[in-house]
Amino acid sequence: MSFNIPRTEKKRVVIVGGGFGGLKLAQKLKKADFQVVLVDKNNYHQFLPLIYQVASAGMEPTSISFPFRKIFHKRKNFYFRLAEVRAIFPERNMIQTSIGKVSYDYLVFAAGTTSNFFGNKNVEEYAIPMKTVSEAMGLRNALLSNFERAVTCADEEEMHELLNVVIVGGGASGVEIAGAISEMKRFAIPQDYPDMDKNLLHIYLIEAADRLLAGMSPESSENALEALTKMGVEVKLHSKVVDYCDHKVILESGEEIPTRSFIWVSGVSAVDIGNMDHSWLGRGRRIKVDEFNRIIGSDNLFAIGDQCLMTSDSNFPNGHPQMAQPAIQQGELLAQNLVRLDRGEPMEPFRYNDLGSMATIGRNRAVAEFANMKLHGWFAWLIWLVVHLRSLLGIRNKVLVLLNWTWNYITYDYSMRLIIYARRAKEIIEREIREANCHWGEDVLGPKKDDET
């Protein structure tokens, strides 16, 4: 396999990752005189803020996923390649990927983050993360399968394990999925499982810190705690998960909570690029960049979004929050800066324009914070709906999501509770990739090959 992209007189910008930052950068380079190569391990962009609705069977994955090839239809001097980036060879301006090596004039890392299990092997093996659309589908399947098994389960202990849902991490994702599962318990379970006592379903939200939504004000944390408690979620603050054995989540206090639905939304670390020089990395394994998003000490290497750590912005000396807006704004500015750099003009430093933050807790309930305004309840929820609907890519997806929300709101019927496993096809694809890796996977720079592009 090779990248199979012709080298032209245009300089080549390779973007690793088509998330919020990488996608915005690629879109904004439309009119620039570059050849743009976008490399992503998925063939679609994912709208992560609504992933919890996919996980809780309230929305289909196609509503929040957008194929790159469709987004970049008819775009000239643009190439998408489905591949995972493994290593970088800056001395040769080249990266190693799962489908071969590709050279660049400018390279931008925008690969985001991955779940951080803090080195706990049991947690890593058994917890269900919720960072990607595939993981959200895995979580949905696990929840629905556990409910199905609970209906026929004769063993009381196992029944508790199947009906206890333990969510670890009290940030926005934890609060949102806890609220969504609590609504499933209230509205969907009685309809779908009339022979199951919904009161046997217990939802726990575990947080090590002293409050939920640590990135927001104490007032919003308090609101979220109050709302979730009213919705029947048992919130445990000051509680650290130390292990998971024999279908039990074990807390530092020694308390054990039996569960087979162990959801992990606690902490992330930046995506590792195999052989990356350790001196490039800072807190959370984020790549250290200067005020132009340039990797410190390099000329043509950049990193944006969650994967980078910029400490030069005086309002954010510990780096920007790992949220969509910093990634989008950095992608936008970097597109302009690459053009400036190429023309030999000075680049503009990045300053984050904080547009606020929000988290939804459930039907008619959300918390939202803007410059000098804090909202909660129905109005915050309405703003949350409008902002997320506007941010979705494509009219088709906007319409689908709006219809879906309206239908759910009116009928209380979360209608898509299917358990679907992709079996054989996935095995075949994985085998193919493994075999391809045998050929290309060594992260070493051999002699220059004729088919390098």
Ligand X SMILES: Cc1cc2nc3c(=O)[nH]c(=O)nc-3n(C[C@H](O)[C@H](O)[C@H](O)COP(=O)(O)OP(=O)(O)OC[C@H]3O[C@@H](n4cnc5c(N)ncnc54)[C@H](O)[C@@H]3O)c2cc1C
Residues near ligand X (CB under 6 A) are 16-22, 39-42, 48-49, 51-52, 84-85, 110-112, 130-131, 172-173, 271, 305-307, 322-325, 327
Please check whether residue 131 is in contact with residue 42, taking contact to mean a CB–CB distance below 8 angstroms: no
Residue 157 or 443: which CB sits closer to ligand X? Answer: 443
Residue 52 or 251: which CB sits closer to ligand X? Answer: 52
Nearest distance in Å: CB 101, ligand X:
14
Residue 47 or 150: which CB sits closer to ligand X? Answer: 47
Residue 159 or 295: which CB sits closer to ligand X? Answer: 295
For residue 156 the two structure tokens come to 């009381």
Q: What is the DSSP letter of 188?
A: I
Nearest distance in Å: CB 323, ligand X:
3
Measured between alpha carbons, how far apart are the two ends of the chain, in Å? 11
Nearest distance in Å: CB 154, ligand X:
36
H or E element at residue 402: helix 395-411
Q: What is the DSSP letter of 230?
A: H
CB atoms inside a 10 Å sphere around CB 443: 13
d(CA 162, CA 156): 10
Nearest distance in Å: CB 226, ligand X:
21
Give which of 27, 29, 135, 122 is closest to 71, Cα–Cα. Answer: 27
d(CA 257, CA 245): 10
- CB burial of 101-119 (b: ≥16 within 10 Å; e: otherwise) equals bbbbebbbbbbbbbbbbee
For residue 218 the two structure tokens come to 């104490």
Give which of 38, 51, 40, 151 is closest to 388, Cα–Cα. Answer: 51
d(CA 32, CA 30): 6
Percentages helix, strand, coil for the chain (3-state, rounded to 5) are 40, 25, 40
Residue 145 or 325: which CB sits closer to ligand X? Answer: 325
Nearest distance in Å: CB 339, ligand X:
20
Residue 66 or 147: which CB sits closer to ligand X? Answer: 66
Q: Which residue in the shown chain puts its C-beta closest to ligand X?
A: 19
Nearest distance in Å: CB 345, ligand X:
26
Nearest distance in Å: CB 425, ligand X:
19
Residue 235 or 358: which CB sits closer to ligand X? Answer: 358
Dihedral (Cα; 398, 399, 402, 406), 10-degree rounding: -170
Residue 250 or 269: which CB sits closer to ligand X? Answer: 269
Give the torsion sign (CA, 15, 21, 27, 32).
negative
Residue 183 or 306: which CB sits closer to ligand X? Answer: 306
Nearest distance in Å: CB 304, ligand X:
7
- Please report, for residues 36, 110, 283, 321, 451, the alpha-carbon distance to residue 318 in angstroms, rounded to integers and kept in the order given: 31, 19, 9, 9, 43
Nearest distance in Å: CB 198, ligand X:
26
Give the torsion sign (CA, 204, 210, 216, 217).
positive
Nearest distance in Å: CB 244, ligand X:
21
Residue 148 or 325: which CB sits closer to ligand X? Answer: 325
DSSP-based three-state secondary structure for 109:
strand
Residue 163 or 308: which CB sits closer to ligand X? Answer: 308
Nearest distance in Å: CB 254, ligand X:
30
The residue to which tokens 């162990």 are assigned: 262
